Amino acid sequence: MEEAQALADQAALLADRTRATFCLALLDGRAWTAGELAREAKVAVSTASEQLDRLVGGGLLTEHRQGRHRYLRLAGPETAAVIEMIAAAGKRTDERPRTMAAAHRQRNLRFARTCYDHLAGVAGVALADGLIGNGLIDNHNGLVLTGPGRTALSEAGIETAPDTQRPVLRECIDWTERRPHLAGAIGAAICRHAFGAGWIERIGSGRAVRVTPAGVRDLERYLGVVIDPAERERSAAAPAVPAGARRP
Amino acid sequence: MEEAQALADQAALLADRTRATFCLALLDGRAWTAGELAREAKVAVSTASEQLDRLVGGGLLTEHRQGRHRYLRLAGPETAAVIEMIAAAGKRTDERPRTMAAAHRQRNLRFARTCYDHLAGVAGVALADGLIGNGLIDNHNGLVLTGPGRTALSEAGIETAPDTQRPVLRECIDWTERRPHLAGAIGAAICRHAFGAGWIERIGSGRAVRVTPAGVRDLERYLGVVIDPAERERSAAAPAVPAGARRP
DNA sequence: GCGACGCTTCGTCGGCCGCCGAACCGTCGC
DNA sequence: GCGACGGTTCGGCGGCCGACGAAGCGTCGC
């Protein structure tokens, strides 16, 4: 009944190419202006303005007006997770890239990217595995930063005091790797610091990032995590995951 | 670009009251016929037939034709998770039930229900917590059934051999409790056996289930898990969870 | 065989929705 | 002040999409 209507309304927010483009762009966790988003989606600013109203009204986006600018960002990490999940569900058919440039772009994206406000991809998963293997993070009862972990992060210059009431550390399933990586306040702090310290930098305007030599060095030095850039070359093909447990 | 189109197409499958009704009904994990679904959504069978084509074509549903019947079910656990996630995202405004009957229904649903093919709700979370506390399930490195756990489940009559290649045991965030419960092949096996052995039974035609006295007894006897039916009375109000980490 | 039944296909209608351009409003810079 | 600029509002257009009924097809039961 009206529960169905609510579900339909919620889904309808993403069921449009223009609005979907907005949300995918905003998945990088940054705030965009209305005009930037209009250009990104190649629509008139008037169109963008109306569609953004709907997304804000539906609770997917939050806005922040400042002067003559209207800044928009995703409402929160859960929103980003929903969008990633639906997008991943549509990726059943792991289509192969058609051109060399596309293959190159896909390889970059698979290797390292931002997932809303934290790190994902092969490198993101490796980081999570490394910190758990090191004992800097304990996964015995949920994910918890250990004493040594807190020390190591502090020494690396990463703030470990949660500034909000969001979960400090939580898993986020990576929908290309199908493995968990680090989200939550700490995950975001690590990502923020990695940008600030030049450990990673964006490739072009998308969500793909590159791990810099300094990043490889400092990640090993401070966190004891080894990221092998050569791994990037091997992150080409999709793992052949069946499209859900089919039943006869 | 076309990634946005794919996302929009995927979301569009759910962005319709009729199709949403179908999917919500199918969340119970059972197979429904096309006619049943048409009646559920109060549309002509011709309409249902067409919409079901789209859902099957989009990969959300699988069909199974037998005689003059067309059985439909959700394509898999991931699909159910996506649907639950979007529905939960729309539930931001935790509206209070208006009538006594609605409050009663909500209480039942919050206490125990099926989440596609496994158990959720307060009871589902309690089951997960209990098995982990008991040491029957180990959560040190993902969720793994321990030796004693395998023995206990066998003695209870629950098959522990995975029959498919789906993850044996995995967490599934419960979107009313915001706590993990047991999904995966084992989670489904437990649920299946709980129905078969009369531990739980459906209330009406929805997803709500009741834990029978026999269920309470056997869950404690075989699995060492205590489910307190009185807890049902306290599962009325929604926990006041903020609608995502808003940013200033 | 025959009707009853479950489902599908087709044609059609109505409404919603996304898009644009034009006009307008507020902000910024000189 | 003025123009430039970002954004919003409004009216209108076009297309898509979901709804239905009627006709048709295959299956089941007698």
Q: Is the pLDDT of residue B149 over 90?
A: no
What residues of chain A lie within 8 A of the CB of B13, using their CB?
A: 11
At B23 the pLDDT is 95
Assigned token pair, B146: 């321990």
Do residues A55 and A11 touch, judged by C-beta distance below 8 A? no
Measured from the CB, is B68 under 7 Å from any atom of strand C? yes
Whose tokens are 């922040």? That residue is A64
pLDDT at B238 (0 to 100): 42
Q: Is the CB of A235 under 7 A from strand C?
A: no
Tokens encoding A86: 């639906």
A29 versus B142: the higher-pLDDT residue is A29
Interatomic separation, CA of residue B51 and C1' of nucleotide D16, rounded (Å): 15
More confident residue, A239 or A47: A47
The 10s digit of each residue's pLDDT in B131-147 is 888 888 877 655 778 88
Query: pTM for this one?
Result: 0.74
pLDDT tens digit sequence for A155-170? 888 887 654 445 566 6
Q: Which residue has the higher pLDDT, B174 or B118?
A: B118
Q: Residue B63, exposed/middle/buried by CB under 10 A (0-12, 13-18, 19+)?
A: middle
- B92: pLDDT strictly greater than 60: no
pLDDT of A246 higher than 50: no
pLDDT (tens digit, 9 = 90+) per residue, A177-230? Answer: 667 788 777 888 899 899 989 999 888 767 888 999 999 999 999 998 888 877
Tens digits of residue pLDDT in A96-131: 666 777 778 778 888 888 887 888 888 888 888 888
Q: Is the pLDDT of residue A43 over 60?
A: yes
Question: What pLDDT score does B7 carry?
Answer: 94
* Mean pLDDT of the residues in chain A: 81
Three-state DSSP class for B91?
coil
- Whole-angstrom distance, CA of residue B118 vs CA of residue B141: 22
CA of B198 to C1' of C30 (A): 81
- Cβ-proximal residues to B128 (8 Å cutoff; 6+ apart), any chain: B137, B179, B180, B181, B182
Place of tokens 């989200």: A183
Looking at the predicted structure, is the pLDDT value of residue A234 above 90?
no
Return all residues near B151 (Cβ < 8 A) that are at least 6 apart. none
**B7 compared with B159, residue with greater pLDDT:** B7
Amino acid identity of residue A46, one-letter, is S
Interface of B with A in 21-60 (CB under 8 A): 21, 23-24, 41, 59
pLDDT at A242 over 60: no
CA–CA dist B121, B112 (Å, integer): 5
Mean pLDDT of B201-210: 82
Residues B173-182, mean pLDDT to the nearest whole number: 69
Statement: the CB of A4 is under 7 Å from strand D: no
Contacts of B179 (CB under 8 A, 6+ apart): B125, B128, B173
Q: End-to-end CA distance of chain A: give it in Å, rounded.
A: 30
Q: What is the pLDDT of residue B21?
A: 95
CB-based contact B83 A15, cutoff 8 Å: no
Average pLDDT of the residues of chain B: 81
Count of C-beta atoms within a 10 Å radius of residue A32:
20
From A152's Cα to the closest Cα of chain B, the distance in A is 22
Nucleotides of strand C within 7 Å of the protein's CB atoms: 5-10, 17-23, 26-28
Q: Is A120 on the interface with B (CB under 8 A)?
A: no
Sign of the CA dihedral running A43, A47, A53, A58:
negative
Mean pLDDT, residues B89-115: 74
Percent of chain A surpassing pLDDT 90: 32
Residue spans of alpha helices (H) in chain B: 2-14, 17-26, 34-41, 45-57, 77-90, 100-111, 121-134, 147-156, 184-196, 213-223, 231-234
How far apart CA A134 and CA A141 sit, in angstroms, is 16
Rg of chain A taking only CA atoms, in angstroms: 19
- B176 contact residues in A (CB cutoff 8 A): none
* The two three-digit tokens of residue B227, written as one number: 């489910």
